[in-house]
Amino acid sequence: SSGINAEYGYEHERLEFQKLKNGKAELASKVDVLRNAAQPLEIALEQKKNAQVEVESLIKDVTNELNKVSSSIKGTEQQLSSGKERIDELMVGFKSKVNEAETKLAKITQLTNEVNAYQQEMEALPETSDLKSRREAITTETRNIAKELGKLESAINELNIEEQARQSKKRTMSSQIQKLNDINNQKLENLRRFEKDTYNAVQWLRSNRGQFQGEILEPFQLIINVPNPSNAKYIESIISRNDRKAFIFERADDLNTFMRQLRDKQKLNINAVLAPKEDSSQRSLDFEKLRPLGFVGFLSDLIECPPLAKRYLYRYYRIHNVPIGSAATDKMADRVNKIIPSGLYFTPSYRYQNSKSRYHGGDIISSISQVRESRIFNFTVDTRKIQDFKSQLERLNGESLEANDRLNEVKRHQQELRTKDNGFREQKQVIVQQIRHRDTIEDKIRARTQKINELKNSSIDLEEEKAKCDQKTKQILQKCMGLQKKIYMLYLESETKNNLKNENMIRKIEVSFEVSEAEEQLQSSTQELQSAEEMLNNHADIIRRQRAKAAELLEEAKRVCGLTTNSLPNKYKSMFKRYPTNNVNDLDQQLNEAKALAECSNDLANPQMITEYNDRKKEIETYTKEVEVNQDKLKDLESQIHTVRESWYGPITEIIEKINTKFRSFFVKLQCAGEILLSEHEDYDKWGVDIRVQFRNSDDMKRLTSSYQSGGEKSVSTILYLLSLQGLTDCPFRVVDEINQGMDPKNERKVFEMMAAAATVQGTSQYFLITPKLLPDLRYNEKMNILSIFNGLQIDNNANESFVVENVIEQARFRNSQSQIMV
């Protein structure tokens, strides 16, 4: 096979070489013909180029002459145009002077009418001298009133100082009374420490006293007062512990109810007693007999308590028959025993209990024990001192009432003077306005009269101006006629030269066409010659390469076929007959088809490929089923998500719409625009609320961010958003800290009014607005409170006693009125 191919390649290249050799001979003959034909064309082209140069020289000379004529025409026309423009300027100037004269005349008429109107208005006004006299008289009156107001202000200050001193004394006395009364709280605290059940019962009784009909007293420990603390040990010595913590009842049914409620139900360890109805305070001892023995009084005289409690002590402890002795009494015990053979008496250190013996003929048996200091009744209240303080308070209150009456009288007189002063000031203001108005009118009349004179002095003589304009126009027209004639002659000369130029241009075009035609012929002939020479050279190169390639193929064919000569053996000749084509490409195609058929036969016999095909087919079926199942699950999940989303999406959009409606209405009041939108996203964690605002008409609606809007705009948007949430959130109060910082006064005022309106609606939350400053003249209502905090290093610690806001305001008003009087 390789031998056949080599032999065939050599034969093919040999035939191609013969064709190229024949073509080279034809090309060489053609090149000689083209070279001979190009020489006459080059001679003719040179002649025509010389003629073209001569024509162009003539055209250049004529063109220069035409340019000179055109330049003369242009200059003359410019002079003519300038003359026309000058005439127009003269006409416009004259018309302007006519308009100016008419305007001045109209202005003079207008100013004259205004002067007449002002003079009529002046005649209706009072004279300036009368107005000034009235103003001086009113000024004198207001000065006298100011002096009187100053005296009244001093009197008010004196009364206020006196009242402040009284208030200070009253606070001191009230504090003293409070301190004295605090002893009762000390008694209660002592009871809580040692008798917790009794303390709880006292608290319950104070809260439920309305359930009972009769009088009920708290335990003796709380209601007995010993003015002199040194006497407390006597009463504590005789009253038992159970009675000290016992409640005293006037009615038995109240006592039973009380005990059932507290002792039976609440299991409190308490005691209660029923007071006797009769008063058994009749004494059996004559104090006049006891006085020489050092006795100072009876125990009943040393204590204070309600009558109901005393009746109980009289009956069961006979305190009215328990004398109290001195240290001297101890030395006279025998004599005392004769006067008090049976009974109880005390000295500062001892307790004496006497009784008669039943077995020794009535001998007196005396039991002596030492008296311990009191722990229970040593909390004493000085009622006399309290009463003294209360009397002084009543006296001071009376003085305050009298001083308040005097103060009101002074303030009434002060108000009358201020009313009178305000009336004078209003009159003075009217007079000042009249004087200013009269001066203003006089200035206007003076200015308009001066303007009228200026306009009359600068009047224009239209006849003279018209004559000047006509004369100048005539001179310019005469000059323009001469220029028109010159332009006519120049145009005639230009036409002659232009005709000559056109003739030469036509000749130039003809010569140029002939030169172009000759150049094209020569260029065509030259290109054809160059192409033939190039083809001839290419054929020579191809022939050389083809000769070398043929020699190589011949040697290759001989080597493959094992030949030593150039003749082809018979076996190769028979093979060439089976493939009659002489085209190598056809042979290559038949060879490739045979190779592909052989490869396909081998693949069909491979069992591994069939197994791999079946495995992949099963995998495809498995993956297809899994995709179908997952798609069904995905549809179920999407349905569940849609159901859950619908359960909350509707309410949320309704809430957002409510907030948006209020938010937009608030911004409309500010003459701005705003809206609240629900920001939706595929990821539910990224949902949110967008606040969009527009504060200027030149801007678009922008999302509220920390970088785009100013601090004041963010504050306005924030507080209006909070107000929009007013009806949708439930909280007891809201605190807004310095939200008005950074706002301009206009927006701050409107925001404050909207906050006040929203916060004072019945049933809304309480608002606390904390701010270092408030705008003047804000609108307040009765549901709002303003608390001003006075604090700092320069404020006196006692300022709260001497600082009165009303006095400060009054003094400021007085100083303001004084400054107005001086003006």
Is pLDDT of 342 > 90? no
pLDDT of residue 575: 62
Query: What is the mean pLDDT of the segment spanning 755-781?
Result: 79
Range with the lowest mean pLDDT among 295-304, 485-494, 578-587, 763-772? 578-587
Residues 298 and 323: beta-carbon distance below 8 Å: yes
Q: pLDDT tens digits for 598-639? A: 555 555 555 676 677 777 778 788 878 878 888 888 888 888
Is pLDDT of 420 > 80? yes
Q: pLDDT tens digits for 245-276? A: 999 999 999 999 999 999 999 999 999 999 99
Range with the lowest mean pLDDT among 79-83, 312-316, 422-426, 513-517? 513-517
Q: Please state the φ and ψ torsions of residue 673, each to the nearest 5 degrees.
A: -135, 145
pLDDT of residue 261: 92
pLDDT of residue 822: 42
Those residues whose C-beta lies under 8 Å from the C-beta of residue 549, and which sit 6 or more positions away, are 13
- pLDDT band, very low/low/confident/very high, at 154 (cuts 50, 70, 90): confident
Higher pLDDT, 110 or 507: 110
Range with the lowest mean pLDDT among 110-119, 327-336, 582-591, 759-768? 582-591
Is pLDDT of 333 > 80? yes
- pLDDT band, very low/low/confident/very high, at 174 (cuts 50, 70, 90): confident
Higher pLDDT, 347 or 69: 347
Q: pLDDT tens digits for 197-207? A: 999 999 999 99
Is pLDDT of 212 > 90? yes
pLDDT of residue 805: 63
How much of the chain, in percent, has pLDDT values that exceed 70? 79
Range with the lowest mean pLDDT among 441-450, 501-510, 752-761? 501-510
Q: Find how far residue 591's CA is from the centre of its chain.
A: 88
pLDDT of residue 600: 56
Query: What is the mean pLDDT of the segment spanning 723-743?
Result: 76
Query: What is the mean pLDDT of the segment spanning 514-522?
Result: 71
Q: How far apart are CA 564 and CA 559, in angstroms?
A: 8
pLDDT of residue 298: 92
Closest to 737 in 3D by CA, of 747, 726, 722? 722
- pLDDT band, very low/low/confident/very high, at 219 (cuts 50, 70, 90): very high
- Helix axis angle, 383-457 relative to 805-822, nearest 10°? 30
Q: pLDDT tens digits for 651-665? A: 888 888 888 888 888
Higher pLDDT, 573 or 448: 448
Highest mean pLDDT among 312-321, 487-496, 735-744: 312-321
Is pLDDT of 458 > 50? yes
Token pair, residue 20, equals 């190229």
pLDDT of residue 116: 86
Give 593-597 contacts, CB < 8 A, sequence gap 24+: none
How much of the chain, in percent, has pLDDT values that exceed 90? 9
Query: What is the mean pLDDT of the segment spanning 366-374?
Result: 86
Q: pLDDT tens digits for 39-98? A: 677 777 777 777 777 777 777 777 887 787 778 777 877 777 777 777 777 777 777 777
Higher pLDDT, 571 or 759: 759
- Averaged pLDDT score across all residues of the chain: 78
Higher pLDDT, 298 or 572: 298
Query: Cα torsion for 203, 209, 214, 220, to the nearest 10°?
Result: 10
- pLDDT band, very low/low/confident/very high, at 115 (cuts 50, 70, 90): confident
β-strands 271-274, 295-298: how paired? unpaired
- Burial per residue of 38-58, b for 16 or more beta-carbon CB atoms within 10 angstroms, e otherwise: eeebeeebeebeebbeebeeb
Is pLDDT of 324 > 90? yes
- pLDDT band, very low/low/confident/very high, at 823 (cuts 50, 70, 90): very low
- Helix axis angle, 196-207 relative to 128-194, nearest 10°? 140
CA-to-CA dists, residue 304 to 46, 190, 225, 380, 732, angstroms: 161, 19, 5, 10, 50
Is pLDDT of 448 > 70? yes
Higher pLDDT, 109 or 256: 256
Is pLDDT of 500 > 80? no
Which amino acid appears at position 422 of this protein? N
